[in-house]
Amino acid sequence: MKVEFSLEELVSLTRASSVTGSASGPATGIASLKQAGPGDLSFLTHRRYQPELEASKAGFVFVPEGFEYAGKPGQVVLRVASPNDAITSLCRKLETLLWPRPAPGVHPTAFVDPRAEIHPDATIGAKCVVEAGATVGSRTVLEAGVVFGRNSSVGPDSWLGYNVTVYPECSIGARVRLHSGVVVGADGYGYEFSQGRHAKVPQVGTVVIEDDVEIGANSCIDRARFGATVVGQGTKVDNLVQIAHNCRVGKHCILVAQVAIAGSTTLGDYVMVGGQAGLAGHIEIGAGSKIAGQSGVAHDLPPKSYVMGSPAIEALKDQKFQMMRQRVPELLRRIEALERRLPESGH
């Protein structure tokens, strides 16, 4: 994918209010101030990075309006309301090159059961399998290799990446994005121990992925024992995350990579869970709570909690403990010194 922006395009796409310096050619890449070379464009997000700006070899830089910076010989300086937004505008343009809208229709190498309903505006990629009774909404794209199970449905404007798997009887909303390797609807992990064996508890519920959810590569959302495992509207899930059966994840939550949530746990809206954190089963996490990375949460949390550590405690308390952690051996030495000076009264 060729990145190429003329100075005119840069100005019009980002609505730059002023330009100093002149370009010898188009910008052919986007990079951080540190990594940018003469053909690249870069941007200053905060004045604390001014030293990086001064040292940068970027051929084009976006700086905030009102920021004093003269530029260097051969460097073009563009002033914009928000350099970050300016870069995002350019990236949105590039996105249309990276992901050109595929033609609607079913690829000749896909297998779509005649009892499935594919909207005529949807795209079913090469080698996909769509089973009986499935429905795929308007403008939704299944990239190559997707398997979409019996009677499952996906709404309009959704995107299922290469090799995504959706088990039967699951329900996926509109504008949902599932990345490669995501598995929706595998059996929940439920057994009953009896006579020395783990007997399988049937997992006959479903999964509901609400609108505007995005789920990262190789994450797993298990189907409910009965009822539904729910991922709420607008929630964003990173890679390699585990959401167990009967969980209810609220709206607009953030689950960073490798989080695991055990069965039947409920997250309120706007909960943020840091990477590699683990949540026990059958607990309730109040809306707006923050759970730090690598935490282990075993109990209910009231709304707007902020916890840390394993097992997780109030973040501030954990931080205080953490600051003391390497001094614990010293505590013993000081106690021993005190004991030497204050011998136990013999009797």
Instruction: Pick out residues in 56-75 that bind its own copies (CB under 8 A).
Output: none
Instruction: Pick out residues in 35-54 that bind its own copies (CB under 8 A).
Output: 35
Instruction: Pick out residues in 144-163 that bind its own copies (CB under 8 A).
Output: 144-145, 147, 149, 151, 161-163
Asked if residue 200 binds its own copies (CB under 8 A), the reply is: yes
Nearest approach, Cβ of 110 to its own copies (angstroms)?
9
Query: Quick one: which segment of 15-23, 44-52, 62-70, 141-149 binds its own copies (CB under 8 A)?
Result: 141-149
Query: Quick one: which segment of 14-22, 44-52, 69-77, 225-233 binds its own copies (CB under 8 A)?
Result: 225-233
Residues 6+ apart with CB under 8 A from 128: 107, 110, 111, 112, 142, 144, 145, 146, 147, 148
Asked if residue 20 binds its own copies (CB under 8 A), the reply is: no
Active site residue 179: no
Residues 6+ apart with CB under 8 A from 33: 42, 43, 44, 49, 52, 53, 55, 56, 58, 61
Residue with tokens 């997780």: 312
Q: Which is nearer to its own copies, 21 or 275 (CB)?
A: 275
Instruction: Pick out residues in 282-301 that bind its own copies (CB under 8 A).
Output: 293-294, 296
Q: Which is nearer to its own copies, 6 or 109 (CB)?
A: 109
Nearest approach, Cβ of 168 to its own copies (angstroms)?
6
d(CA 263, CA 243): 8
Residues 6+ apart with CB under 8 A from 269: 232, 250, 251, 252, 253, 287, 288
Instruction: Kindly give the pairing relationship between strand 197-200 and strand 191-194.
Output: antiparallel
Query: Quick one: which segment of 5-13, 19-27, 58-66, 210-218 binds its own copies (CB under 8 A)?
Result: 210-218
Instruction: Pick out residues in 239-278 that bind its own copies (CB under 8 A).
Output: 239-240, 242, 244, 252, 254, 256-258, 260, 262, 275-276, 278
Give DSSP secondary structure letters for 201-235. PP---EEEE-TT-EE-TT-EEPPPSSSEEEE-TT-
Instruction: Pick out residues in 74-133 that bind its own copies (CB under 8 A).
Output: 87-88, 91-92, 94-95, 98-99, 107, 109, 111, 125-127, 129, 131
Among 29, 156, 286, 303, binds its own copies (CB under 8 A): 29
d(CA 226, CA 204): 5
Q: Which helix (H) or strand (E) holds 315?
A: helix 315-324
Q: From the candidates 119, 245, 282, 347, which is the catalytic residue?
A: 245
Among 21, 104, 156, 234, binds its own copies (CB under 8 A): 234
Environment class of 241 (CB within 10 Å of its CB; exposed 0-12, middle 13-18, buried 19+): buried
Instruction: Pick out residues in 162-181 that bind its own copies (CB under 8 A).
Output: 162-163, 165, 167-169, 177, 179-181
Tally helices (H) and strands (E) across the chain.
5, 38
Instruction: Kindly give the pairing relationship between strand 183-184 and strand 220-221.
Output: parallel
Active centre residues (catalytic):
245
